Amino acid sequence: MDYRVLGVVLFSFLAYTNAEHVKFADCGSVEGKVSVVDIQPCPSQPCQLRKGQSYTVNVTFTSSVASQTSTAVVHGVVAGVPVPFPIPQSDGCKSGIQCPIVPQKTYSYVNQLPVKNEYPAIKLVVEWELRDDPSKDLFCIKFPVQIVN
Residues of the shown chain interacting with ligand NAG in the complex, contacts defined by CB under 6 A: 36, 38, 58, 60, 108, 110
Strand pairing report for 47-50 and 137-148: parallel
Nearer Cβ to ligand NAG, position 36 or 102? 36
In sequence order, the 6+-apart residues with CB closer than 8 A to the CB of 18 are 40
Instruction: State in angstroms the smallest separation of the CB of 57 from ligand NAG.
Output: 10
Q: Give me the amino acid identity at 122.
A: I
Q: From 86, 84, 78, 91, select the one nearest 124 (Cα to Cα).
A: 78
Instruction: State in angstroms the smallest separation of the CB of 58 from ligand NAG.
Output: 4
C-beta nearest to ligand NAG: residue: 58
Nearer Cβ to ligand NAG, position 128 or 147? 128
Nearer Cβ to ligand NAG, position 77 or 110? 110
Nearer Cβ to ligand NAG, position 107 or 124? 107
Residue 52's region, left for phi above 0, alpha for psi from -120 to 50, else beta, is: left
